[in-house]
């Protein structure tokens, strides 16, 4: 009959009391606390600007942020392309996976706060040697040990099962600092995902209007080619009639060949622009032909959206790259505490409770129980300065992260200044190109009227037509530049899609 003993004796209770006391004092956290850096910002959008003051005004600007800014172009084709890119872009998928990886690592690190519990079980068939060192004492001490040795050497089974508990007390904040660093890494990856989404939208818009601009140039180049071909025919006729020499004819033929060569180059650029756009959409070359075919009204000034900005002081909190740089600085600061905690002793609490027997018949009996409990101490003594060097390395990482943060903020305002100046210049240039195009159209109408009245020859009409085409080409380029520069402003102030 098995006698029932208490599972824990006084010594075990003393150990548990000591473990509880250690747990209560484990509130110290070494390492520097993170202090959120202050990102400098101008008081308004007209300061912190370089270049001519004429480009510092904000034409038609309103002070609101816009996270669906690409829809202000009022172009359904562009809207569909952006939505497709946000869903299918390989860059966004990669950033999403990295964000998911950071969250998984955060969960792994956070799991160190709780004890580890493992269930074990085994069945072993064993046989001891009659001549092992462990039997020497019996052979020398007992008068007739043979019977006992034979019993010990007989094959037998060994049944074991139990639960193992292990928990490292976070005396110096090693785990807490590691969790703090992991949280900051998640914030950084989330900001980088937002940056990837913003970059994809900006790239789609830029490539889309680059394609539309090239297509508009192709249409106008074909019109120019037709006008030059007609003019060459007239010059050839007048040369045959003796009114002109062959110099004018060859000069006109050379100009026509140059226009045709430019047309061929534009057609090659159209294919390359399509492929660049399709790559952003994760599509093969030649896909989406119907959506990407020429749209005559895609560059009209009536589609130009208003400029939408945020408050300057909020840009530092809005731009994903600045928030990512701040999170990296936070992570680097917390990892100093992780490294410093490695310099101090660590205590791990361990416990085991289970069953241990040679026979399956008494496996569940109370007498087959076994248990152990107690702390273990790890005291770093000598590692040739590895831990101290690690602290220095982490401090260097923080200094580098601080420099990177400062550089990111400075670069952000440089990009904002460049984008605003480019947008203002594009608006002013568009206004002048519109005047040029209107004047060229008026001149063509006047020369056409004179030709219809018999006061001018057809070569003058062809020259006016070509001047009008060239003015319209320049206008199309300016319209494209305004579209792209407006996108650059939204990208610079961090209007990422949400």
| Separation in Å, CA 410 to CA 120, 196, 323, 372, 423 | 57, 20, 13, 60, 20
Please check whether the two domains, 1-28+115-169+345-379 and 31-113+171-344+386-492, share a CATH topology: no
In whole angstroms, give the CA distance from residue 344 to residue 386. Answer: 13
CATH class of 31-113+171-344+386-492: mainly alpha
Q: Span 264-278, mean pLDDT?
A: 94
- CA-based angle 311:316:318, to the nearest 5? 75
Right CATH number for 1-28+115-169+345-379 from 2.60.40.420, 3.40.30.10, 2.20.200.10, 2.60.120.10? 2.20.200.10
* Pairing of β 61-62 and β 307-308: parallel
What confidence tier does 116 reach under pLDDT thresholds 50, 70, 90? Answer: confident
pLDDT at 287 over 80: yes
If one compares 234 and 434, the residue with the highest pLDDT of the two is: 434
pLDDT given for residue 7 in this prediction:
44
Give CA 362 to chain center in angstroms: 61
How much is the pLDDT for 196? 94
Delimit the domains of the chain by residue range: 1-28+115-169+345-379, 31-113+171-344+386-492
- Structure token pair of residue 273: 């622009």
**pLDDT tens digits for 413-425?**
999 889 889 988 9
pTM here?
0.81
């Amino acid at each position: 009959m098995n006698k029932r003993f208490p599972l824990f004796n006084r010594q075990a209770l003393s150990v548990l009391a000591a473990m509880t006391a250690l747990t209560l004092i484990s509130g110290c956290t070494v390492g520097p606390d993170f202090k959120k850096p202050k990102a400098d910002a101008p008081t308004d959008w007209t300061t912190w600007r370089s270049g001519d003051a004429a480009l510092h005004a904000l034409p038609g600007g309103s002070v609101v942020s816009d996270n669906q800014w690409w829809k202000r172009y009022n172009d359904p084709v562009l809207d569909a392309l952006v939505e497709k890119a946000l869903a299918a872009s390989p860059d966004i998928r990669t950033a999403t996976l990295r964000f998911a990886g950071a969250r998984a690592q955060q969960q792994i690190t956070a799991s160190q706060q709780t004890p580890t519990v493992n269930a074990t079980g085994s069945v072993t068939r064993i046989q001891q040697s009659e001549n092992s060192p462990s039997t020497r004492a019996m052979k020398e001490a007992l008068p007739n040990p043979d019977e006992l040795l034979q019993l010990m050497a007989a094959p037998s089974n060994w049944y074991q099962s139990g639960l193992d508990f292990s928990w490292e007390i976070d005396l110096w904040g090693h785990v807490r600092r590691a969790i703090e660093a992991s949280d900051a890494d998640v914030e950084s990856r989330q900001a980088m995902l937002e940056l990837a989404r913003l970059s994809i939208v900006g790239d789609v818009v830029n490539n889309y209007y680059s394609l539309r601009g090239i297509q508009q140039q192709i249409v106008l180049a074909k019109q120019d080619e037709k006008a030059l071909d007609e003019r060459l025919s007239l010059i050839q006729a007048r040369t045959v009639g003796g009114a002109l020499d062959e110099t004018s004819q060859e000069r006109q033929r050379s100009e026509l060949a140059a226009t045709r060569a430019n047309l061929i180059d534009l057609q090659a650029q159209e294919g390359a622009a399509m492929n660049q756009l399709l790559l952003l959409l994760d599509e093969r070359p030649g896909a989406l032909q119907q959506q990407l075919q020429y749209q005559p009204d895609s560059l009209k000034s009536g589609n130009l959206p208003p400029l939408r900005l945020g408050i300057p002081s909020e840009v530092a909190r809005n731009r994903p790259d600045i928030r990512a740089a701040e999170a990296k600085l936070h992570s680097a600061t917390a990892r100093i505490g992780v490294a410093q905690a490695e310099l101090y002793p660590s205590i791990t609490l361990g416990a085991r409770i289970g069953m241990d027997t040679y026979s399956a018949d008494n496996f569940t009996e109370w007498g087959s129980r076994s248990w152990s409990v107690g702390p273990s101490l790890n005291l770093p003594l000598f590692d040739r300065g590895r831990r101290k060097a690690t602290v220095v390395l982490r401090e260097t990482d923080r200094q580098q992260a601080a420099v990177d943060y400062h550089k990111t903020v400075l670069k952000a305002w440089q990009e904002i200044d460049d984008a605003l100046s480019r947008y203002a210049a594009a608006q002013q240039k568009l206004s002048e190109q519109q005047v040029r195009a209107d004047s060229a159209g008026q001149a063509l109408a006047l020369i056409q009227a004179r030709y219809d009245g018999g006061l001018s020859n057809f070569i003058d009409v062809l020259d006016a037509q070509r001047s009008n085409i060239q003015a319209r080409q320049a206008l199309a380029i300016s319209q494209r530049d305004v579209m792209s520069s407006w996108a650059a402003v939204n990208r610079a102030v961090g209007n990422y899609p949400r």
